[in-house]
Amino acid sequence: MGLFDFFKKKETAPEAQEALDKGLEKTKDGFFNKITKAVAGKSSVDDEVLDNLEEVLVTSDVGVSTTLKIIKRIEERVAKDKYLNTSELNFILRDEIQLLLSENNSNDFRQFEYGDHKPYVIMVVGVNGVGKTTTIGKLAHKLKESGLKVVLGAADTFRAAAVDQIKLWGERVGVRVVAQAMGSDPASVAFDTLQSAVSSGEDVVIIDTAGRLHNKIGLMNELGKIKQVMQKVVPGAPHEILLVLDASTGQNAFEQCKQFTEATDVNALAITKLDGTAKGGVVIGISDQFRIPVKYIGVGEKIGDLQLFDKKEFVNSLFK
């Protein structure tokens, strides 16, 4: 069973949809309050409404570049149909956001399946505090639930707390954790984890890494070394380099995405803490601007509140 197959089967459940709707409540409230104010007293979509809408999108952390694309598309529709009124604006906006995300992410997460890779190796990157370890724990839980054998590698040896957290998640979820003493070579931990997974016949390996950005060259070198040693054990590893971003940091998440994509070959994103912020618009902007599939979203604190990102469901939920 592919990773995608499992999540797709699970996430269509009504409780998953309910969790998504609840997780986006703060973003929806802020977004629609702003749109309501933007069109107050207007009967048609004119230049002033479009200017106001542009401001709404930018202040909702959609990002300037993505906002301008969306506004241009709406302008084209307004020019084509002179009778558009403000009550139709939500429908038009939803359609254009969905279209934009579909066009810009033709290579969606369906490309990243467990497939024939055994073990399937995921290297997780991101700054400290974004929910990286929690995401690893929740992902391990989901995969174990599906019947896959999972092992975690505690390669963030820079912080004792990171190793302890991974061990706690391993105990909680019931998966093995490979760890060394604090200050050990992260590449050595990754090497040991993969060797252990191969000999034990485990299906998925998830490697945590240090979240330091103050020295990008150092980060590049460290991640590069981890990849090299993993490939000695499992050719082609890591199959997935997952960057974890915290939605509540807004524009800062864009900067982190820029830094990490320059440092390593990120091919999947996880955007966390959507339930605790009104800045859910970052999902739209980051998905559009970086052309990297948003694969997972965190919509709550419960162990099951990590979901595969579905662009259509996300936008529909935002506009409910």
Which 3 state secondary structure label does DSSP give 42?
Answer: coil
Cβ(89)–Cβ(53) below 8 Å: yes
Q: Measured over all CA atoms, what is the biggest interatomic distance in the chain, rounded to whole angstroms?
A: 69
Phi-psi map region of 291: left, alpha, beta (phi>0 left; psi -120 to 50 alpha): left
How is residue 123 written in tokens?
């290297």
Name the β-bridge partners of 122: 206, 240
Q: Which residue numbers belong to the known binding site for GTP?
A: 126-133, 208-212, 272-275
Edge-to-edge strand order for the sheet containing 268-272? 176-178, 150-154, 204-208, 120-125, 240-246, 268-272, 294-298, 306-308
Closest C-alpha to 108, from 7, 230, 1, 10: 7
For residue 104, what are the CA distances in angstroms to 99, 252, 284?
A: 9, 22, 11
Question: What is the C-alpha separation between 131 and 147, in angstroms, rounded?
Answer: 25
Closest C-alpha to 189, from 123, 260, 267: 123
Question: What is the C-alpha separation between 247 and 241, in angstroms, rounded?
Answer: 19
Name the β-bridge partners of 176: 151
280: DSSP letter? T
Phi-psi map region of 163: left, alpha, beta (phi>0 left; psi -120 to 50 alpha): alpha
Q: Which residue numbers belong to the known binding site?
A: 126-133, 208-212, 272-275
Question: What is the C-alpha separation between 169 and 172, in angstroms, rounded?
Answer: 5
For residue 277, what are the CA distances in angstroms to 15, 135, 180, 249, 269?
A: 21, 17, 36, 9, 18
How is residue 232 written in tokens?
């000695």
